[in-house]
Structure 1
Amino acid sequence: MKTFRSSVYVLSVYLLIVSCARQKIVSTNDSVHLLLGNPTNAQASESVPDNYLIVKPQYALSYNRSKGHANWVAWELSKQWLGSSDRQNDFRPDPSLPASWYKVTPNDYTNSGFDRGHLCPSADRTNSLDNNSATFVMTNMIPQAPELNREAWAYLEEYCRELVAQKHRLFIVSGTYGTGGEGSKGTLNKLDNAVNVPARVYKVITILPENGNINDITTDTPVIAVDFPNKTSQLQNAGWFRFITTTADIEKKTGLTFFTNTSKSIQTSLQAKRFDYVNSSLNVDTKCREYNGKQLFIGKSGGCYYINSNGNKTYVERELCNCQ
């Protein structure tokens, strides 16, 4: 009898430990990253494997088991997340997926012609080594055309961090739709029979004051919606502003719904906004392209320049910044 009771006790403790571990992995919508809403009403339930909610301290996402990557990733970007921690580059499978599911590995991308492209950027999580490392799990990666990942996409990421430096707080949702991308080795629909190659990659960025919260969102709140082709041939010397669209257009193409935690009137207004880079009140210049080893910037007034050795702007022919 004593042995039986001991066995029951051990089993009970084991189940309690397993339960606690699962509770840490399977979280709810109570996350700062989902402050503006859950675009697909993703659930932390194995019964919805293609809309499976994972909430981490660093970001939240809807995982699609059939595609082997996220439908979308959502995160807050503010000064609290930025620091001087090094990029960790520790790409790895995500242990928070259910044990019985296949977990995409970095090797699934090897020699594919596509980058392991971050949705929530590494450089958006530099306040600690652990937070930076968290961006390198494969559920935060998509097969991304190198020219997109390293140029227009990266320039938009940097633009967002510049906004934070100018005392803004951002809420960002980034995701994919469609099948069939073009990388450095041509067009593919799937990597190693494990990972869908998306046709398009989008981003919706909501811009608040530095200490702003959901109650500060109005019909005048700036929104940047961008929808990129995941195709090398369409991205040569292309600035991110070439692909500006509306959130409503992204919703139509993806089936997602944004801004669900705002009032209906505000939601409708934000969905219809098309970001006007030139006339925006956001006073941040953006990278356009590289030319003769120099990074060229385009200003709101349309000027094209690079930063010289003295740290000053040197203007060049406007045609060199024809990235729009």
Structure 2
Amino acid sequence: MPYSRSRLLSYLFAGLLAISCSKDSPAPTTPTRDENLALGNPSGATTDANNPTNYLLVKSQYTLSYHRDRGIPNWVSWHLSSAWLGSADRQDNFAADNELPAGWYRVTTSSYTGSGFDRGHNCPSADRTSSAADNSATFLMTNITPQAPNNNQRTWVGLENYCRTLVDQGNELYIICGSYGRGGVGSNGAATTLDNGRVTVPDRCWKVVVVLPVGTNDVQRISTSTRVIAINVPNDNTVNTNWATYRTTVDAIEQATGYDLLSAVPTAVQKTLEASVDKGPTS
């Protein structure tokens, strides 16, 4: 009898300890695919075909504002977590976007042929590798901008790779990028347009990255201590290969573009985050 009572007390103690630990250590949140435009619509883009300079295209993989007369996106917004990443191959199937309104000129991969500018992804191919369909979506020409090769292949890709490193470290990201201005310098020299004027070569390429630990209610979790990386890079083949050289404020990008970035974030938090230059690690 004393032996049985001792064992019973041991089981009760172990049970209470397990309950206590479960309360103190909640199960980790599983990464999910969240709303690509959760942080706001920077330009108030709409799906009205009578608004050709700020036309909203909503894909499963990203959301963008398209400028018909420039033949490139104004901005592209997407969410990045490990739920978007997998083992799908790079499809390399650049294609015109058939979701554009009827009668609009549709840029094709040949629009860039011999131009000296890369077909630069906004939402990167490597950010959408969960399936072949997801990866193919990044090769639609509405997600592409003429980029100087050294910008696209070195500076820009450096930040893209770092973003995925942040995901590997247990974070999820909200990313918005775009371009503005007119005229860049590619491998063949300076140019303002491609494809007989149908595609504008931008002067600057910018990106904003909001970094959060994996969790839920993402917008509500953004605080004045949330890390925000903003860069603004000249579209020039002599660009510095270190993306950190071009860190700036969100305020500066907003002033240059006229957009309202992070508009879904509470105003007081926005004010602090948008005025700060990131000084965090770069690899």
Same fold (TM over 0.5): yes
The unaligned stretches of length 5 or more in structure 2 are 1-33
- In the TM superposition, 1:113-124 aligns within 5 A as 113-124=116-127
- In the TM superposition, 1:207-286 aligns within 5 A as 207-212=211-216, 213-233=218-238, 235-236=239-240, 238-277=241-280, 286=283
What is the CA-CA distance between 1:267 and the residue it aligns to? 1.3
The C-alpha deviation readout for 1:257-287, integer Å capped at 9, x for no partner, is 1111111101111111210035xxxxxx53x
> In the alignment, does 2:84 pair up with 1:72?
no
> In the alignment, does 2:39 pair up with 1:36?
yes
* Secondary structure at the counterpart of residue 99 of structure 1: coil
- In the TM superposition, 1:47-126 aligns within 5 A as 47-126=50-129
* Secondary structure at the counterpart of residue 245 of structure 1: coil
Task: Give the letter for the 1:209 counterpart.
Answer: P
Question: Structure 2 length normalisation: TM-score?
Answer: 0.86
Distance in 2 separating the partners of 1:258 and 1:141: 20
Equivalent position of 1:160 in the other structure:
163
Equivalent position of 1:181 in the other structure:
184
The C-alpha deviation readout for 1:82-129, integer Å capped at 9, x for no partner, is 011000000000011001100001000000000000000000000000
Task: Give the letter for the 1:217 counterpart.
Answer: I
Is the 8 Å Cα contact of residues 118 and 140 (structure 1) preserved in structure 2? yes
Distance in 2 separating the partners of 1:124 and 1:97: 23
Equivalent position of 1:7 in the other structure:
none
Which aligned runs of 4 or more in structure 1 are off by greater than 6 angstroms?
none
Equivalent position of 1:194 in the other structure:
198
Task: Give the letter for the 1:52 counterpart.
Answer: Y
The C-alpha deviation readout for 1:202-236, integer Å capped at 9, x for no partner, is 00000111124111011111000000000012x14
What is the CA-CA distance between 1:196 and the residue it aligns to? 0.1
Distance in 2 separating the partners of 1:152 and 1:277: 17
* Secondary structure at the counterpart of residue 32 of structure 1: coil
Distance in 2 separating the partners of 1:33 and 1:269: 23
Equivalent position of 1:135 in the other structure:
138
* Secondary structure at the counterpart of residue 232 of structure 1: coil
Equivalent position of 1:148 in the other structure:
151
* Secondary structure at the counterpart of residue 116 of structure 2: coil
- In the TM superposition, 1:284-295 aligns within 5 A as 286=283
Is the 8 Å Cα contact of residues 241 and 277 (structure 1) preserved in structure 2? no
Relative contact order (C-alpha < 8 Å, sep 6+): which is higher? Answer: 2
Distance in 2 separating the partners of 1:260 and 1:275: 19
Question: Structure 1 length normalisation: TM-score?
Answer: 0.75
Task: Give the letter for the 1:230 counterpart.
Answer: N
Distance in 2 separating the partners of 1:259 and 1:88: 31
Tell me the percent identity: 48
The unaligned stretches of length 5 or more in structure 1 are 1-30, 279-284, 287-324
Equivalent position of 2:18 in the other structure:
none
* Secondary structure at the counterpart of residue 78 of structure 2: strand
Distance in 2 separating the partners of 1:277 and 1:267: 19
Task: Give the letter for the 1:220 counterpart.
Answer: S
Distance in 1 separating the partners of 2:145 and 2:200: 8
Distance in 2 separating the partners of 1:184 and 1:66: 24
The C-alpha deviation readout for 1:226-265, integer Å capped at 9, x for no partner, is 00000012x14x3000000000000000001111111110
* Secondary structure at the counterpart of residue 274 of structure 1: coil
* Secondary structure at the counterpart of residue 204 of structure 1: strand
* Secondary structure at the counterpart of residue 36 of structure 2: helix
